[in-house]
Amino acid sequence: MPFFSSRSITYSPAYTIVPTYECFNRCTYCNFRTDPGNDSWMSLSTAKNIFKRLQNQNVCEILILSGEVHPNSSRREKWFNLIYDLCELALSMGFLPHTNAGHLSFEEMQKLKKVNVSMGLMLEQITPYLLQTVHKHAPSKNPELRLQQLQWAGELKIPFTTGLLLGIGETEQDSWDTLTAISQLHQNYQHIQEVILQPHSPGTQQSFDAEPFNPHQLPEVIAKAREILPEDIKIQIPPNLVKDKQWLLACIEAGARDLGGISPIDEVNPDYPHIQENELREMLHPRGWDLVPRLPVYPQFDGWLSGDLEIGVKRWREEFGILLFPN
């Protein structure tokens, strides 16, 4: 896109909806989940009211972020259909859906591709060691399942976002191995659009008793990730988890170029409110960085979309061009 330059830092004007907080996994660092059966699921009419309110507010991406219902549960189909219907509704009301609903089957991904411009799943860390610790009661965090899902995304030509969670008991080498695995998958399928580097940031609901990932180490990790990952994969950092302005700027100098979805609440880290657009712009501008909105799908993947997804993306590309170049 002509309006992006080498000094552009992107973000996605987004809103997160949560079909359900219930999750059969129990990652010990989780600040999101409730026990199965303890959460009423979002209804389509509630979602419709939210979407109506968001229209004409320049919100482009609807991030559908869900806890997981067990693949063998009799409620799995109902859960999946709700996610599909929420995506379809968001799309029909002019938004661009991006779903991250944890581990999905090939068939589920194939169906969701029809109503999502891109999808996501954090790889987190590929070391199996974490299955004995933070993921001891989280079967869908098995790294083999996650790698398989990233491969399926490539086979299905789904533009994909993944990432690492840093500071959950991994070694430095584990992180480099995880980045290498992402890089290899991308070389086979060319489908990874961005990699999130998310520092563990303790919240009030988690049982995992560990220090936050040291934000001072993040620029170093970003620089190494930049060496390992192919150039066409963008590195994303969540600015609300790197609160200090100097360290945020250091992360950008080290190679981070995207700040992810900026919405009223960070559902995964509810104790860390998002920094809003104007504040970010004020931080970046004096150092010569421009903050520019982007879509949840990167331009090189537009040719993978068809039908309503293609029409919606085309409309938003024009809209963002107008926002960036007002008369």
Nearest CA to 27 among 122, 106, 100? 122
Contact 145, 178 (CB under 8 A): no
- Residue from 9, 33, 119, 280 binding ligand SF4 (CB under 6 A): 33
- SS3 assignment, position 2: coil
Determine which residue in the list 26, 76, 281, 317 makes contact with ligand SF4, applying CB under 6 A: 26
Provide the β-strand partners of residue 164.
124, 197
Alpha helices in 113-209 (DSSP H): 143-155, 172-189
The residue from 67, 97, 143, 199 that contacts ligand SF4 (CB under 6 A) is 67
Least CB distance from residue 149 to ligand SF4, whole Å? 13
For residues 80 and 301, which CB has a smaller minimum distance to ligand SF4 in the complex?
80
87 marked as part of a ligand binding site:
no
User: For residue 69, what are the contacts with CB-CB under 8 A and spacing of at least 6?
Assistant: 20, 22, 24, 36, 75, 76, 79
Please say which residue, 13 or 260, places its beta carbon nearer to ligand SF4: 260
Return the residue of 14, 17, 23, 60 that touches ligand SF4, per CB under 6 A.
23
Helical packing angle, 172-189 and 218-228, nearest 10°:
30
Instruction: Map the footprint of ligand SF4 across residues 119-158, applying CB under 6 A.
Output: 138
Is 25 a binding residue for ligand SF4 by CB under 6 A? The answer is yes
Residues 6+ apart with CB under 8 A from 12: 60, 61, 260, 261, 262, 293, 294, 295, 296
166 counts as binding ligand SF4 under rule CB under 6 A = no
Smallest gap from Cβ 69 to ligand SF4, in A, equals: 11
Q: Which two tokens stand for residue 67?
A: 């806890």
Q: Which residues contact 132 (CB under 8 A, 6 or more apart)?
A: none
- Window contacting ligand SF4 (CB under 6 A); options: 22-30, 47-55, 83-91, 167-175: 22-30
CA distance 196 to 230: 14
Nearest-Å Rg of the Cα atoms of the chain is 19
The answer to whether residue 30 forms part of the interface with ligand SF4 (CB under 6 A) is yes
The reply on whether position 27 binds ligand SF4 by CB under 6 A is yes
Scan residues 91-120 and list those touching ligand SF4 (CB under 6 A). Answer: 102
Selected range binding ligand SF4 among 21-29, 246-254, 270-278, 299-307, rule: CB under 6 A: 21-29
Residue 161, token pair as written in the block: 């976002």
Is 30 one of the annotated binding-site residues? Answer: yes
Could you say whether residue 41 binds ligand SF4 (CB under 6 A)? no
Size of the site for ligand SF4 (CB under 6 A): 11
Q: Which residues are annotated as a binding site?
A: 23, 27, 30
Q: Which residues bind ligand SF4 (CB under 6 A)?
A: 23, 25-27, 30, 32-33, 67-68, 102, 138
